[in-house]
């Protein structure tokens, strides 16, 4: 095994023939060179210069260094709450990182897959959602193999946050105790034509016919709506579901059923959803005054729930979940 990059500690080391390089690529190699070329850099992040006569670049790194007992392995906090990037300090609340610095560092390397360790609170949260929302009894119950946090580039993330802020400004969802923009986690199934997520593989493939890697790389795109399934019950939108086993239906090929499968768990700005039980196939946007369509089950029509959005910036892939089933 090549092991992890000695700078970012997230991606595998680059292997060139029989030679294993210490870093995952040129970017980390350059950063490592820059950070080791001077003694004036922060003793924790090794990237930013020290603040005055202090050992660290600022309060954030000082706090992280204190929490981890210096530059060594973290020992003063529960590893089940560790930052998914540095793994040296606890993550902040519902966020996956300990600080803006770690979040920025991850986005600078985006698109990036960070494995979520088994036993981590985030691993439990995502796995529990998969299990609890698996409603179909005609197929094997899933068993999680790997979970990865998907980190997009800063620009792709910024577009999503801007859209969410605009929906929140209109709907005032936080005032009623909901999340900003009524953001929810919803499942999406798609074709995976490579081994991404299996056996620790985190390098996205370059294949044109691998929707999973394409979505991880650049997020969803409405222009592909209906490419694999012509049955668009609520028009040209991006479809997700709260039911994981329904999303599993859309993993291609359906027959034969692949023994190792992968679903995307996404954050979706639902906003004010219009509930529909009957088909509305001509939709290209939600009705006036609404931000999404909520397809509700109805005997003889829709068997399982659907959440449909009509803006590329209303949804982002958040986790890749690989499972047996």
DSSP E strands in the chain: the ranges are 15-16, 19-20, 112-115, 143-151, 183-188, 238-240, 260-269, 273-276, 292-295, 306-309, 315-324
pLDDT of 9 reads 66
CATH topology of domain 121-324: Phosphoenolpyruvate Carboxykinase; domain 3 (3.90.228)
**174: how many CB neighbours lie within 10 A of its CB?**
12
* Per-residue pLDDT tens digits for 109-140: 999 999 999 999 999 999 999 999 999 999 88
Task: Please compute the mean of the pLDDT values over residues 188-206 and round it to a whole number.
Answer: 94
Q: Tell me: pLDDT of 312 over 90.
A: yes
Phi-psi label, residue 65: left if phi above 0, alpha if psi -120 to 50, beta otherwise: alpha
Distance CA 188, CA 33 (A): 40
pTM for the structure as a whole: 0.79
Backbone angles phi, psi at 20, to 5 degrees: -105, 115
Q: Tell me: pLDDT of 73 over 50.
A: no
Q: Tell me: pLDDT of 75 over 80.
A: no
Q: Tell me: pLDDT of 58 over 90.
A: no
Q: Tell me: pLDDT of 6 over 90.
A: no
- Residue 54: pLDDT band with limits 50, 70, 90: confident
Least confident among 44-53, 65-74, 194-203, 262-271:
65-74
| Domain-wise residue ranges, the chain | 38-102, 121-324
Task: Please compute the mean of the pLDDT values over residues 97-117 and round it to a whole number.
Answer: 95
Least confident among 7-16, 162-171, 270-279:
7-16
Contacts of 4 (CB under 8 A, 6+ apart): 10, 11, 12, 13, 24
* Per-residue pLDDT tens digits for 136-173: 999 889 999 999 999 999 999 999 999 999 999 999 99
Task: Please compute the mean of the pLDDT values over residues 173-191 and round it to a whole number.
Answer: 97
Look-up: residue for tokens 């519902």?
Answer: 94
More confidently predicted of 64 and 152: 152
Q: Is the peptide bond before 253 cis (omega within 30 degrees of 0)?
A: yes
Q: Tell me: pLDDT of 72 over 70.
A: no
pLDDT of 119 reads 96
% of the chain residues with pLDDT over 70? 89
Distance CA 75, CA 52 (A): 28
Q: Tell me: pLDDT of 64 over 60.
A: yes
């Amino acid at each position: 095994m090549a092991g992890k990059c000695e700078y970012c500690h997230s991606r595998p080391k680059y292997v060139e023939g029989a030679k294993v390089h210490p870093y995952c690529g040129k970017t980390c190699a350059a950063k490592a060179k820059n950070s080791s070329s001077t003694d004036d850099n922060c003793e924790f992040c090794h990237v930013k210069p020290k603040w005055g006569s202090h050992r660290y670049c600022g309060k954030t790194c000082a706090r992280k260094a204190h929490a981890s007992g210096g530059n060594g392995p973290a020992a003063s906090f529960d590893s089940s709450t560790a930052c998914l990037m540095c793994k040296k300090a606890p993550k902040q609340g519902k966020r996956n990182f300990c600080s803006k610095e770690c979040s920025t560092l991850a986005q600078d390397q985006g698109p990036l897959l960070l494995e979520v360790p088994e036993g981590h609170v985030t691993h439990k949260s995502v796995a529990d959602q998969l299990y609890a929302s698996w409603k179909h009894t005609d197929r094997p119950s899933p068993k999680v193999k790997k979970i990865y946090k998907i980190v997009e580039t800063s620009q792709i993330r910024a577009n999503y946050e801007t859209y969410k802020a605009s929906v929140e400004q209109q709907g005032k969802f936080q005032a009623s105790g909901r999340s900003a923009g009524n953001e929810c986690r919803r499942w999406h199934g798609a074709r995976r034509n490579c081994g991404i997520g299996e056996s620790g593989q985190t390098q996205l493939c370059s294949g044109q016919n691998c929707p999973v890697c394409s979505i991880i790389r650049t997020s969803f795109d409405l222009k592909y709506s209906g490419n694999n399934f012509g049955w668009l019950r609520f028009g040209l939108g991006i479809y997700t579901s709260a039911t994981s086993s329904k999303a599993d239906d859309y993993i291609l090929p359906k027959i034969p059923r692949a023994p190792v499968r992968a679903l995307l768990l996404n954050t979706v700005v639902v906003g004010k959803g219009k509930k529909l039980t009957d088909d509305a196939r001509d939709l290209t946007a939600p009705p006036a005054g609404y931000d999404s369509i909520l397809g509700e089950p109805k005997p003889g029509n829709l068997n399982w729930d659907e959440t449909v959005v009509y803006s590329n910036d209303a949804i982002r892939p958040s986790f890749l979940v690989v499972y047996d089933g």
